[in-house]
Amino acid sequence: MSRRDDKTVGLILVTYQSAEDLPPLLESLPAAVEPYTLDVICVDNGSTDESAAIVEDFGGRVIRNTGNVGLSAAINQGAAHSDAEWLLVANPDTRLDPGSIAALVETASADYRIGMIGPRITRLDGTPYPSGRRFPSPLTGAAHALLGGVWPGNPASRAYFGEPGGDVGDVDWISGCCMLFRRGAFDSVDGMDDRYFLYFEETKMALDLHRAGWRVVLDPSVRIRHREGGSMRHAPLRKIRTHHRSALRFYCDYHRRSPWLVLAPLVAAGLVVRGASAALRTTIRARRGS
């Protein structure tokens, strides 16, 4: 295998009907990555808008899929076309602060054991967006699922989201809206688990890296912004179903050698109820807004 380019950041950008979000992200990229070289690889999952053309106009390479192969599979596609030592996965609805990605590279370069690193994230209005999260216990996960929508500050949700400090530190997993990988770590676990079409793919990737001996780290001194909810604009009911299916899959993967695995049918039943409730609320809001 040829030597990887450790002076280049390869951005793997997965798009699906992302034309509205892309311009602010692309405008923020050069200043975020300098002095490193930027290589943009877009994997478009069958968009019918101008997503692919916008990235091409920016100078990125575009892989056009005829249909939506899912986020994890698309990330793996893009990674296969990059020789960069540093692989950046960023959602189209993110905005990268100047110097942010270069700072993540510098932090990760200081310890070869760091395989995955992410920044502090805020919403566009400046409020914190949870990253540096914990793998939930079955009880914490159940309480968060039941209470998170009606009581965001409940103890279970606070435990799940974690309380990141001011220094670089190890975490269980980071938000997938912006994550930087050391190429050796990414390859050591064969990339993203493509059984995860959407949602929990970053959680499973972090779990795989932990099990392979890599560090997963949050650098809170680095900030990016995220337009929360941007990914839900298209086919929200399908995404609710996919979210809950991925949640069950992760529960089984995480507890594959644990006695807690016997509760998987009960977890599945709870997720069905929660998903149905979320779908009902989404349908009511859509009808009120029409």
> pLDDT tens across 217-276, in order?
999 999 999 997 655 566 788 899 999 999 999 999 999 999 999 999 999 999 999 899
The CATH number of the domain where 200 resides is what? 3.90.550.10
> pTM of whole model > 0.75?
yes
Domain boundary among 193, 214, 230: 230
What is the spatial distance between Cα 52 and Cα 75, in angstroms, rounded to a whole number?
15
Task: Examine residue 143 and state whether it is found in any structural domain, yes or no.
Answer: no
Mean pLDDT across the stretch 184-207? 98
Reported confidence tier of residue 1, pLDDT bands at 50, 70, 90: very low
Same domain, 105 and 240: no
Same domain, 96 and 121: yes
Structure tokens at 62: 């575009």
Same domain, 52 and 86: yes
What is the spatial distance between Cα 178 and Cα 118, in angstroms, rounded to a whole number?
6
Task: Work out the mean pLDDT of the chain and round it to a whole number.
Answer: 92
Task: Examine residue 138 and state whether it is found in any structural domain, yes or no.
Answer: no
Q: By residue range, what is the domain housing residue 271?
A: 235-290
Same domain, 201 and 277: no
Task: Examine residue 177 and state whether it is found in any structural domain, yes or no.
Answer: yes
Task: Examine residue 152 and state whether it is found in any structural domain, yes or no.
Answer: no
Domain boundary among 230, 250, 278: 230
Q: Give yes or no for a contact between 214 and 115, defined as CB atoms under 8 angstroms apart.
A: yes
Look at residue 242 in the predicted model and tell me its pLDDT.
96
Residue scoring higher pLDDT (115 or 145): 115
Same domain, 129 and 49: yes
Structure tokens at 214: 């890599």
Phi first, then psi, for residue 221 (nearest 5°) are: -80, -10
What is the spatial distance between Cα 85 and Cα 261, in angstroms, rounded to a whole number?
37
Domain boundary among 186, 215, 230: 230
* Beta partners for residue 182, in sequence order: 86
Look at residue 3 in the predicted model and tell me its pLDDT.
58
Task: Examine residue 116 and state whether it is found in any structural domain, yes or no.
Answer: yes
The total of structural domains in the chain comes to: 2
Same domain, 177 and 92: yes
Same domain, 202 and 288: no
pLDDT one-digit tens code per residue, 66-120: 999 999 999 999 999 999 999 999 999 999 999 999 999 999 999 999 999 999 9
Can you tell me whether residue 39 is helix, strand or coil?
strand
Same domain, 199 and 221: yes
Which of 47-56, 67-76, 274-283 comes out lowest in average pLDDT?
274-283
Mean pLDDT across the stretch 180-206? 98
Question: Distances in Å between the alpha carbon of 270 and those of 2, 196, 247?
Answer: 48, 20, 11
Query: Does 22 have pLDDT greater than 50?
Result: yes
pLDDT one-digit tens code per residue, 94-105: 999 999 999 999
Same domain, 180 and 98: yes
